[in-house]
Amino acid sequence: MAPAPLIEQPTISETYNNHRDGLALEELSDNIDRVNVLKAALKVQNGTATQEEQDIYAASQFDAAKDKTQFRQYEEACDRVKNFYREQHEKQTVAYNLKARNDFRAKTRAELTIWEAMEKLNTLIDESDPDTSLSQIEHLLQAAEAIRRDGKPRWMQLTGLIHDLGKLLFFFDARGQWDVVGDTFPVGCAFDDRIIYPDTFGANPDAANPVYGTEYGIYTPGCGLDNVMLSWGHDEYLYHIVKEQSTLPDEALAMIRYHSFYPWHKEGAYQWMMNEKDKRMLEAVRAFNPYDLYSKSDDVPKAEDLKDYYMELIDEYFGKDKKVRW
C-alpha cells in the first residue's frame, strides 16, 4: 500500500518553489522511505515498548517532591536566555529548516561512540536553559540516574543518557546556539501563543507569509507529527541518528524527538496535528519530561563511577563499541 500523502500536494509545490536551496518535502520523504527499506534489510528494528514497559514508565513518583515553581521561569530569566529566544524565533523559518535537513543528509560529520560524544559535548553550556549551568554530561547522567532509580525500563534509562547528545551539532554545522538548543515548535504554520516569548515571532518572516502564517499552514489536521517539520535543533538531529543506528523503541524515539516540544507536551498546543500514534507517543514524552527537567536539581553524579553500567546499556542498543555516524 502506498503511504498516505504527507501534506496536500498542491500547497507544497506552490509554496516550495521559492526554496530551491532546500530539499522539497517530497524528496525528504523519499529519503526517509529509502532509510526504512535499508533498515529492514539490515534487520535493525526499533519496535514498540511492551505493555508492561508502558505501565512501568507511566507511573512515576519522581517529581512529587520537587517544587515546580523553581523551573522554567522565563519571565524572570536572565538576558542570556531572552536574547537566545529572540534570535531563535526570528531565524527558524521554513527555508532554513529545509536547508538544515538537506545539509544533515549530505554528509557524516564525525564518527564517535556514544560515550565519546558525551565527552565531546562536555564543554557546551546551553544558553537557552534558565535551570542549569552544569555541563551536559552531568545533566545527561542526572536524567539517566533518576530514571534508573525509579526502576524504569533499560531503554528509557539509555534515552535519558543520550537525549541531549544532539547538541553536538553545535560543534559541526550550527550557525549559533539558536539552531541547536531551546524549546521547539512547528514551522510552516502559525506560531502558537503557548510557545514561550510568543511576541518575538513578529520578527520571523514566516509569520506574515500567506501560507505559513495561517493556522494549519502547509499541513492538514490529523497529518501526524511524523509529517511535521519541527524547528531544527538537537532533538530532530539526534532523532534521525538514533532511529537509523539503534534498536531503541518508538517511545524512546518520541522522547528524543519531542522532549523540547513544550508547547505540545506541556501546554496542549498543536493538538490538531496529531494522529493515533501521536496520542500514544505523547504519553511517553510526558512520562519522560519530569526526569529531564526536575533532575536538574539533583546531586551531580560522577561519570567515572557510572561508566561501566552505562557502557553496557549503550552496547545493548547501539551494538558493541559501535562508532555512531554523527
Q: Which residues are annotated as a binding site for substrate?
A: 72, 126-128, 167, 182-183, 259-260
272 CA to centre of own chain: 20
53 binds, among ligand INS, Fe ion, none (CB under 5 to 8 A by kind): none
Cell reading at 322: 559501535
**Element spanning 264, H or E:** helix 262-265
Please state the closest distance from residue 117 (CB atom) to ligand INS, in A.
Answer: 15
- Map residues 207-236 to x or -, x wherever contact with ligand INS holds by CB under 6 A: ------------------------------
Asked if 179 touches ligand INS (CB under 6 A), the answer is no
Q: Which is nearer to ligand INS, 183 or 251 (CB)?
A: 183
Could you give the 3-state DSSP secondary structure of residue 225? helix
Helices 114-121 and 154-162, axial angle in degrees (round to 10): 40
Q: How far apart are the first and last CA of the chain?
A: 32
257 binds, among ligand INS, Fe ion, none (CB under 5 to 8 A by kind): none
Asked if 183 touches ligand INS (CB under 6 A), the answer is yes
Asked if 260 touches ligand INS (CB under 6 A), the answer is yes
Q: Which is nearer to ligand INS, 212 or 262 (CB)?
A: 262
In sequence order, what E strands does the chain have?
111-112, 324-325
- Map residues 20-59 to x or -, x wherever contact with ligand INS holds by CB under 6 A: ----------------------------------------
What number of other Cβ atoms are within 10 A of residue 39's Cβ?
16
Please state the closest distance from residue 161 (CB atom) to ligand INS, in A.
Answer: 14
The span from the CA of 181 to the CA of 126, in Å, is 7
Asked if 127 touches Fe ion (CB under 5 A), the answer is no
Instruction: Choose the stretch contacting ligand INS; rule: CB under 6 A; options: 206-214, 216-224, 238-246, 254-262.
Output: 254-262
Q: Residue 94 to residues 199, 222, 258: CA-CA distances in angstroms? A: 19, 20, 18
Q: Residues 6 or more apart from 19 whose CB is under 8 A from it?
A: 94, 95, 98, 99
The span from the CA of 253 to the CA of 236, in Å, is 10
State which of positions 141-170 bind ligand INS (CB under 6 A): 164
Please state the closest distance from residue 285 (CB atom) to Fe ion, in A.
Answer: 12
State which of positions 144-173 bind Fe ion (CB under 5 A): 164
Which residues lie near ligand INS (CB under 6 A)?
126, 128-129, 164, 181-183, 259-260, 262
